[in-house]
Structure 1
Amino acid sequence: MGIGMQIVYLGFPGAAQLEAEAGAQLVRLARFEALLSNCHLAIEALRPDRSSLLYDVRLDLITPAHEFKPIAHCAGDNAEAAIRGAFDLAEQELETIAARARTH
């Protein structure tokens, strides 16, 4: 069936390269399909000092039981790197959940 993902862009129109990066990162989570049914990814462009651009990336995981698990924000001046950071954190969280499930 696969893991679904919804992406929302805030403060900018989005870009195909960011959607491709998010899709590539989602593949990393496929092994956790039993724990995860959907992801919500928000990529927000911020201008904290009115000159430079900062991207804030938020990833929320949705379990098959429709439970919501937010992942810590990742931010930086490179949106693709921030996306990778969010999926790194998600992968760590899912590995922890899977390990706990194996010991119980």
Structure 2
Amino acid sequence: MVGIGMQIVYLGCSATAALEAEAAMQLMRLQPFGASLSDCHLAIEALRLRSGKPLYDVRLDLVTAAHELKPIGRHAAESAEEAVRRAFDAAERTLRTEASALAPRR
């Protein structure tokens, strides 16, 4: 069985080992939905605020097994790792809601 693939794009920032590890760990949370997903696209963008504080904007799109794009949305935080966690939290909630809606009623 092949797992869900992930493509990561960095905008205005560079990949770090910690950020790559966080994204890989979060991807593991989606593995129970692997039958309905083939891939995900993660974009991590560093925004420069006037205050000088960093802000990271993360966008996550899921690609279904039927090759349809399912945008999860944008999530922002002061750390890239936290923004990634928020995006995958939303993805997991979305997938669980969809799975429960498709479950047979008794």
TM-score (norm 1): 0.94
Structure 1 unaligned segments of length 5 or more: list them. none
> Per-residue CA shift, 1:34-69, capped at 9, x if unaligned?
111100000000002161211001100000000101
| 2:103 counterpart letter in structure 1 | R
Q: Secondary structure of the residue that 1:8 maps to in structure 2?
A: strand
Quote the Cα distance in structure 2 between the aligned partners of 1:103 and 1:62. 24
How many residues end up aligned between the 2 structures? 104
SS of structure 1 residue aligned to 2:21: helix
- Alignment gaps of 5+ in structure 2: none
| Aligned twin of 2:31 | 30
Percent identity of equivalent pairs: 59
Aligned counterpart, 1:66: 67
Distance in 2 (alpha carbons) for counterparts of 1:39 and 1:75: 18
Q: Which runs of 4+ in 1 moved over 3 A?
A: none
- Structure 2 residue aligned with 1:20: 21
Counterpart CA distance in 1 for 2:14 and 2:20 is: 12
Of Structure 1 and Structure 2, which has the larger fraction of its residues in strand?
2
For the pair 1:42 / 2:40, whether they are aligned, the reply is no
Q: Which amino acid aligns with 2:36?
A: L
CA distance in 1, matches of 2:92, 2:36: 11
Alignment of 1:60-99 (within 5 A): 60-99=61-100
Tell me the TM-score normalized by structure 2: 0.92
Q: Distance in 2 between matches of 1:49 and 1:103?
A: 51
Report the RMSD for the aligned CA atoms in angstroms.
1.3
1:52 lines up with 2:62 in the alignment: no
